[in-house]
Amino acid sequence: MAVFISADEAAELVKDGDTIWINAFAAIASPVDLNRAITRRFRRCGKPEHLTIYSAFSFAEWKEDSDIEGYICEGAADCVVIGFFGSLYGTCKAIMENRIEGYNLPGGVMSHMIRASACGASTLFTKIGLNLFVDPRVGGYRLNERSKRELVHLANENGEEGLLYDIPKVDVALLKASFADERGNITFENECASIDCLSVAQATHRNGGKVIVQVARVVNNHMLPRTVNVPAALVDAVVVVPDQKQLTNMDGYYDYICGKYVPTGNILKACREEIGAKIGSTHKRTDLHRAIAKRAVKEIREGQIVNIGIGIPELVAEEVLERGMLDKVHLSVESGHTGGMPLGGMGFGVAIGPDTMMDMARQFDFYEGGGLDLCFIGTMQVDGEGNVNGHMAKGKLTGIGGFANISQTTKKVVFCMTFTSGGLEGSFDGKHVVIKKEGRIQKFVDKVPAKSFSVENSRAIGQKAMFITERCVFELGDEGLILTEIAEGIDLQRDILDRLPFEPKISRELKIMEF
């Protein structure tokens, strides 16, 4: 039966050399108080040491010197294996400065890894990542010179080529939930997603490790079995944190982001404005970004199941809302939501009034099975063949997140990106696009330095792919990119062809972009 202890007492349960799995999705369900307690202990006595940290998605707060990740950056951890680094500023810096080992694996693969661990597996075979940066023949999941471990292997199963991912034995699971009953049964009812809470707890318990959960309070009555996300049988310690936040970077509680209230129409719009102002954005949005979203949303058809990615695709969801399409399509996010209005920025992974919330591994089951009709994904670089780098920029570590799992299997992929970046300025009046100042950074390159999306994989499944910018649209053809649309106000030679390091095919039916 679970014991009820303080956060500092919970930190004492972590031993030298332990492997910790943190259940979180950016700002959602992140056990920040448990992580802070480990930081306090390490600063006080230099223990624990030589930790290995796993997390499918980031778990800090988008700022420098966060004590949520303090122990990782200050010497307690030797190694981190993360799917998406977004909010982990200090950890990214430690990796780029070669102070700790760093590895980047697809977030969905990590989700399936921990579920497989719960049933005793030591490896996971999957095609996700094949011909991408995690493929040993390509290389790139090791993030610095210190990182020498081989975590991914080329394999063959029943005559099919794929990748074999090593699964760790987890010693400590860190979870954040809403309530515990007196026995230690755990519910996530006020959280915006449960992520992989049950799989993480099952895998850790099976390995003889410690499952530690922080909650807002203890309820006296025994919980309804169907509301329990993690049973008391798997829980070793419960830490009560009465003032814990619903989201890492936001004060207050909102019932419409945990599914207790489903707003519609103008009320939903008001809720979105309220929560958006509280959460904040990670990027500045311009008229050119909105032009991309307005063109992209036209690819959606009624009844489709659609994934909304981070970055410019967030604005596609806003367009769906503004055009009254929200009840006619099913927007989804890899955190486990389907339906409702996905948020963006520092609230990525949250949805207002979703129809359903499921464990992340189940969402990726559906995604990887080809269940998505359409996905909108932001990206950093595209080459003339149509290969994409969406996770690695010079001097910046973002991580692949769910990018590979989604883009490798969805029926149609729509990449949303500006033509250049780093100072790009322009105007958009709803019809015409004018480029006033080009960005310093070229988004279209001769060859991408890291593959997040492979043309080879895309063609193998007959996938459709298109690239929407503020000034033109490319589609993936048999021999590379084909220019199919151009915006009014854009000069074909000056604004497009002269700025490409390759020569694209130009459609004989080159169209004017419609927004």
Burial class for 278, CB neighbours closer than 10 Å (0-12, 13-18, 19+): middle
H helices within 283-378, ranges in order?
287-296, 313-322, 360-368
State how far the Cα of 239 lies from the Cα of 212, in Å rounded to an integer: 8
Biggest CA–CA distance in the chain, Å, is: 71
Tokens of 12: 């004492």
Please give the full DSSP string across 410-455, using - where no structure is assigned. Answer: -SEEEEE--SEESS-EEEE-SSBEEEEE--SEESEESS-SS-SB-H
The answer to whether the CB of 491 falls within 8 A of the CB of 513 is no
76 by DSSP, 3-state: which? coil
Q: ∠183-188-193 over CA atoms, to 5°?
A: 155
Active-site residue identified among 101, 191, 334, 485: 334
> Could you tell me the two tokens for 278?
């509280």
The answer to whether 17 touches 53, Cβ cutoff 8 Å, is no
- 334 carries an active-site annotation: yes
Burial bucket for residue 353 (CB in 10 Å: 0-12, 13-18, 19+): buried
Q: Estimate the crossing angle of helix 313-322 against helix 287-296, to 10 degrees.
A: 70
Token duo for residue 507: 């459609």
CA nearest to 264, candidates 343, 358, 341: 341
If you search the block for the tokens 């149509």, which residue do you land on? 386
**Residue 215: in which H helix or E strand, if any?**
strand 210-215
Q: Where are the alpha helices (DSSP H) in 140-281?
A: 197-206, 265-279
407, two tokens: 């883009």
Spatial contact of 139 and 130, defined as CB atoms under 8 Å apart? no
Residues pairing with 125 in the sheet: 164
Handedness of CA 84, 88, 91, 97 (dihedral sign): positive
Instruction: Mention every residue, 6+ apart, whose C-beta is less than 8 A from residue 236.
Output: 2, 3, 13, 210, 211, 212
Using CB atoms within 10 Å of the CB of residue 220, give its burial: 0 to 12 exposed, 13 to 18 middle, 19+ buried. exposed
Q: How far apart are CA 365 and CA 332, in angstroms?
A: 13
Strand 160-166 versus strand 152-157 pairing type: antiparallel
Give the active site residues: 334
